């Protein structure tokens, strides 16, 4: 994976370095544990980068493990999309692909062990009662009236829970820890609940399911994970993680460490809300180019290298921060400026007729494929009597210091001739039908001119040989940079940018524009574009040319 060759050090690597030096571990084994209840997003890319690059740096292994312990929200569609996104990013799971549900038998046996050891009990409190008994941040909780059931009774009840004898939600298995703990997560947390739901892998085998805080450390330990690297909201869950590992009795204990999540301006990372956008058809699916999903960024034309470059520049730390979306745009713009082939496209075409150019004449002008890459060579662009230019490049009543086309003004058609406005032909409604010009035929192919200053150069395509295309211009999905700034009572919907896509039909492009789906272009003077994988005739703007990051 070329874009991960240089891996920045961070506080996590400092911890690992110290452990290796002290002999705590002799290998590094990490994992990425997504829940298959939605598509991965740009925030997931940070977790992938940290876990994958850490394993790579130390010559270790990296696992993909689906956290599929909640059958209600999970689906094979998400399982497939996660694997596809991970591989597209280049973070291939060198340690293997696993499913949390494949450990259900072990989780169940370990639960029986905790019961036998007097460290877990079956509780009949309802969810509301458990919340009431739990206490507050300043007041300790109260013991459940079922906390002191005998080992024999707890074993009997838990086995009967597994056998489906009790209604959903009527009983839970809870770890017996400390209801007075200052850490709310240690106040006898539930580790099993009754849920009758069809599981995408296990079918109807189980009607009890382990909760994440119980199942996850078991999965890590069974897979030989040495470092469980997760986002900061799990920091207060770490004592429970360690309690599970210690009390089940694993000799080799994984170490959980936390980092700050990736927050990006103008972006929402909530899978629930992203799913809402999809289900209510407010966007064109999970891969809509406005979505912060990995597949949306892929369709938009972003590359794995640019995404991981963005993550690296955003940094790996423990402090909360929100990163400018413009940094992500800067990363892809910087890459494409060096690599993207140049082509000419006219987004809002207006016809220019060169009256002194022979009607049946055609000639070709060499144009650079990428001025930043001499090895990219040139291509021949066809020129004829009628060409299209962009409407924005002509002003009938020009403002001061206007150096593009105007009445009696001269400009150079890029790589071709200097032309001068002769006549404006209008439609009945007053709109411009075409503009007639004369060309200085002595100025062919950028030939210098003595004594004449022509400041403007504009792009063009030959009308007869132009390719008809559509252009999709996407804007940010939300109207304010920080969605945490919402006032009380407001929702994400209040700031959804419902004018975030503009579709331009009737655009014109040079004939050499390729039909390859994964080919990225700079449309000269316009921006960077990629063919839409869902529409053979449409090109999506990846990012415009203007770089506002850091300004």
Answer with the one of 418, 434, 466 that is the final residue of a domain: 466
Same domain, 243 and 139: yes
Q: Is residue 123 part of a domain?
A: yes
Q: Do 68 and 189 sit in the same domain of this protein?
A: yes
> What count of other Cβ atoms lies within 10 Å of the Cβ of residue 379?
16
> Are 130 and 32 in a shared domain?
yes
Domain-located, residue 249: yes
Q: Are residues 242 and 371 in the same domain?
A: no
Q: Which helix (H) or strand (E) holds 536?
A: none
Reference 352, options 411, 310, 285; nearest CA is 411
CA atoms within 13 A on the CB side of 482: 6
pTM of the model: 0.92
Residues 120 and 243 in one domain: yes
Told to judge if 275 belongs to the known catalytic residues of this protein, a careful annotator would answer: no
**97 & 241 share domain:** yes
Report if residue 252 sits inside a domain.
yes
Which of 56, 271, 385, 508 does the annotation list as catalytic? Answer: 271
> Which of 245, 264, 283 is the C-terminal boundary of a domain?
264
Q: Is 312 a catalytic residue?
A: no
Residues 256 and 405 in one domain: no
Residue 385: give the domain boundaries: 350-466
Same domain, 71 and 209: yes
Burial state string for 244-279 with b = 16 or more CB within 10 A and e = fewer than 16? bbebbebeebbbbbbbbebbbbbbbbebeebeebbe
- The rounded distance, in Å, linking the Cα atoms of 493 and 237 is 32
Which residue among 466, 495, 514 closes a domain?
466
Within-domain flag for 514: no
**Containing H/E element for 166?**
none
From first to last of its 551 residues, the chain has per-residue pLDDT tens of 444 455 778 999 999 999 999 999 999 999 999 999 999 999 999 999 999 999 999 999 999 999 999 998 888 999 999 999 999 999 999 999 999 999 999 999 999 999 999 999 999 999 999 999 999 999 999 999 999 999 999 999 999 999 999 999 999 999 999 999 999 999 999 999 999 999 999 999 999 999 999 999 999 999 999 999 999 999 999 999 999 999 999 999 999 999 999 999 999 999 999 999 999 999 999 999 999 999 999 999 999 999 999 999 999 988 888 999 999 999 999 999 999 999 999 999 999 999 999 999 999 999 999 999 989 999 999 999 999 999 999 999 888 888 888 888 889 999 999 999 999 999 999 889 999 999 999 988 766 666 677 889 999 999 999 999 999 999 999 999 999 899 999 999 999 999 999 999 999 999 988 777 789 999 999 999 999 999 989 999 999 998 877 66
In a domain, 218, yes or no: yes
- 399: domain CATH number? 2.40.240.10
| 261 included as an active-site residue | yes
Residue 103 in domain? yes
Catalytic residue among 142, 261, 379, 519: 261
Distances (CA, A) of 9 to 71, 257, 259, 320, 396: 38, 15, 14, 19, 58
Please indicate, yes or no, if residue 247 is contained in any of the structural domains. yes
What pLDDT is attached to residue 448?
65
Looking at the 3D structure of the chain, how many domains does it have? 2
> 439 in helix, strand or coil?
strand
Instruction: Report the CATH number that the domain containing residue 189 is assigned in CATH.
Output: 3.40.50.620
Whole-number pLDDT of residue 4: 46
Residues 6+ apart with CB under 8 A from 221: 245, 248, 250, 252, 253, 254
What's residue 6's pLDDT? Answer: 58
Based on the fold, state whether residues 19 and 156 are members of the same structural domain.
yes
Pairing of strands 120-123, 96-99: unpaired
Any domain includes 61: yes
Residues 230 and 356 grouped into a single domain:
no
CA gap 301, 528 in Å, rounded: 9
Whole-number pLDDT of residue 44: 96
Q: Name the burial class of residue 320, with classes exposed (0-12), middle (13-18) and buried (19+) by CB atoms within 10 angstroms of its CB.
A: exposed
């Amino acid at each position: 994976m070329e874009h991960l060759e240089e891996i920045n050090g961070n506080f996590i690597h400092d911890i690992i370095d110290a452990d290796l030096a002290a002999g705590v571990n002799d290998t590094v084994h990490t994992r990425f544990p997504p829940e298959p209840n939605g598509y991965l997003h740009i925030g997931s890319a940070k977790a992938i980068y940290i876990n994958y690059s850490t394993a790579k740096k130390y010559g270790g292994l990296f696992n993909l493990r689906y956290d599929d312990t909640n059958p209600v929200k999970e689906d094979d569609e998400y399982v497939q999309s996660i694997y596809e996104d991970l591989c597209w990013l280049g973070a291939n799971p060198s340690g293997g692909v696993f499913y949390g549900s494949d450990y259900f038998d072990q989780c169940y046996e370990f639960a029986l062990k905790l019961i036998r050891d007097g460290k877990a009990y079956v509780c009949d409190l309802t969810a509301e009662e458990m919340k009431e008994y739990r206490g507050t941040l300043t007041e300790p909780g109260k013991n459940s009236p079922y906390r002191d059931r005998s080992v024999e009774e707890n074993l009997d009840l838990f086995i009967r829970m597994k056998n489906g004898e009790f209604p959903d939600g009527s009983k839970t298995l809870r770890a017996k820890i400390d209801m007075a703990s200052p850490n709310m997560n240690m106040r006898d947390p539930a580790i099993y609940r009754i849920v009758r739901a069809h599981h995408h892998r296990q079918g109807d085998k189980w009607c009890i399911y382990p909760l994440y805080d119980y199942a996850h450390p078991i999965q890590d330990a069974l897979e030989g994970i040495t470092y469980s690297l997760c986002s900061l909201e799990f920091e207060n869950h770490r004592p429970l993680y360690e309690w599970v590992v210690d009390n089940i009795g694993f000799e080799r204990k994984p170490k959980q460490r936390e980092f700050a999540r990736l927050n990006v301006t103008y972006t929402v990372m909530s899978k629930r809300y992203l799913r809402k956008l999809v289900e209510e058809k407010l966007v064109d699916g999970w891969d809509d180019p406005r979505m912060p999903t990995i597949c949306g960024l892929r369709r938009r034309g972003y590359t794995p290298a640019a995404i991981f470059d963005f993550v690296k520049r955003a940094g790996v730390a423990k402090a909360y921060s929100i990163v400018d979306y413009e940094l992500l745009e800067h990363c892809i713009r910087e890459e494409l400026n060096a690599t993207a082939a140049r082509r000419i496209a006219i987004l809002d075409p207006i016809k220019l007729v060169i009256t002194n150019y022979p009607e049946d004449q055609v000639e070709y002008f060499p144009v650079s494929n990428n001025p930043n890459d001499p090895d990219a060579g040139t291509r021949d662009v066809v020129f004829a009597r009628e060409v299209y230019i962009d409407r924005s490049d002509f002003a009938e009543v020009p403002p001061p210091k206007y150096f593009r086309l105007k009445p009696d003004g001269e400009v150079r058609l890029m790589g071709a001739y200097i032309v001068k406005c002769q006549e404006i032909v209008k439609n009945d409604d007053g709109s411009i039908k075409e503009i007639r010009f004369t060309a200085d035929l002595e100025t062919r192919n950028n030939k210098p001119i003595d004594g004449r200053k022509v400041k403007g150069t504009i792009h063009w395509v030959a009308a007869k040989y132009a390719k008809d295309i559509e252009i999709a211009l996407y804007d940010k999905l939300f109207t304010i940079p920080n969605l945490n700034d919402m006032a009380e009572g407001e929702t994400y919907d209040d700031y959804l940018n419902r004018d975030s896509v503009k579709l331009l039909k009737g655009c014109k492009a040079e004939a050499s524009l390729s039909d390859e789906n994964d080919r990225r272009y700079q449309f000269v003077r316009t921006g960077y574009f990629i063919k839409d994988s869902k529409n053979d005739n449409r090109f999506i703007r990846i990012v415009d040319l203007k770089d506002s990051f850091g300004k």
